Amino acid sequence: MDVFRVQGGARLVGEVTVTGAKNSSLKLMAVALLAPGRTTIHAVPHILDVTIMAELLRRLGCGVDYDAATETAVIDVPEHIEHRADYDLVRRMRASIAVLGPLIARTGSADVALPGGDAIGSRGLDMHIAGLERMGATATSEHGYLVVQAPASGLTGTHVYLDFPSVGATETLLMASVTAHGQTIIDNAAREPEIVDICQMLIKMGAQIEGVGTSLLTVTGVESLAPTEHTTVPDRIVAGSWAVAAAMTQGDITIHHGNAAHLAIALEKLATAGAEIDSWDGGFRVTMNQRPKAVDIVTLPYPGFATDLQPQFIAMNAIADGTAMVTENLFEARFRFVQELSRLGAEVRTDGHHALVRGKQTLSGAPVEATDIRAGLGLVLAGLVAQGETIVHCVDHIDRGYVRLEEQLAALGAAIVRETIPDLG
């Protein structure tokens, strides 16, 4: 079992380069299933989740060649693919559900194990299923698998209204509808940059999609799609994480290949906390020369404040000047990591989907456990500003979303090492 040993007190200074978005690249790999032939995707981060998705595609019959040095995935999709996504892979990564839409579109059926992933709350598939059923599919749950079957004539376009702008449901319906008969309207669709990225790749493959970047997507089905070459959008959550790291450590970090426009609210909050932010086309710089001021946070679907940045901001508020209220509107179990943050001396009280954070001058190093990707990163950041040593356990969660985090932090001046310790569990 790997852990991070973090010594607090360092000011992070230097430059980092953000790779492609985890939350986009995994879905783009699934998009490749829609077109027989060779699809090439660039800026695919070298993280554990990519390894899992590559293995899932191989089991579906694809050839996958991933080059970590160039961060390029080459996916060879055969004319006939399998339609079963096995539990042993899907349980490790919720993004595996992204194959649901392509499998139905290509094979007319899909057996996908009910997904696992981060322990941040229930993320049901009700909207995925309801949308597919409106397109003519039938769905049942059998022995831990979601079994979806399209009619013999194929899926038919329809008007689908999403009760909530779900990223996953929007992705599933997008990928299922691009080759359906007629026109599909996805109303109240998610608008995240990663959704736009998927739409742009689909359009390159020959899909007809209108309203990209809005909450009303109109998809006109085509007979078939062609393989393509595409570069993943930059990872706004990783970029935002580096921005918070600069603010927490009173540091100075230049973030290359980061899109400040995708982080407008988060960067505005950091400016309110006292940071200086300079942005340009292709990157931005965050400088902090004082103890951060506490800032209130309310998570909302894009373009609102990203839930994936909430743990990092709670960590910053834990050492900020003042008291902040953090409201989590998307995942009810996001606050689980607060218990671990409290082990470092943070003063956080939760009530339902609210957390009251009273900033303290200092935190105190202690052993803690990462419960999900972003919580793990938040604990590492807290360890960077705590007195003494913090040992972060279960860093495999962090590896799912951040490339060689300890190496990048060390290059910025952090005292952090990765160690393998015996698993006594």
Residues labelled as active-site residues:
118
What letter represents residue 313's amino acid? F
Q: With contact defined as beta carbons under 8 Å apart, do 185 and 216 qualify?
A: yes
Q: How far apart are CA 240 and CA 225, in angstroms?
A: 35
Residues 6+ apart with CB under 8 A from 233: 20, 21, 24, 193, 194, 196, 197, 259
Q: How far apart are CA 348 and CA 362, in angstroms?
A: 14
Helix intervals (H) in 164-282: 167-177, 193-204, 236-248, 264-273
Pick the closest to residue 37 from 210, 193, 226 (CA basis). Answer: 226
Residues 6+ apart with CB under 8 A from 69: none
Structure tokens, 101: 């839409």
For residue 45, cis peptide bond before it (omega within 30 degrees of 0): no
Q: How far apart are CA 183 and CA 179, in angstroms?
A: 10
Residues 6+ apart with CB under 8 A from 301: 164, 165, 167, 190, 191, 192, 330
Q: How far apart are CA 140 and CA 142, in angstroms?
A: 6
Q: How far apart are CA 355 and CA 121, in angstroms?
A: 16
SS3 70: coil
Residues 6+ apart with CB under 8 A from 93: 26, 49, 52, 53, 115, 116, 117, 400
Q: With contact defined as beta carbons under 8 Å apart, do 267 and 242 qualify?
A: no
H helix and E strand count, the chain: 14, 26
Structure tokens, 135: 């397109």
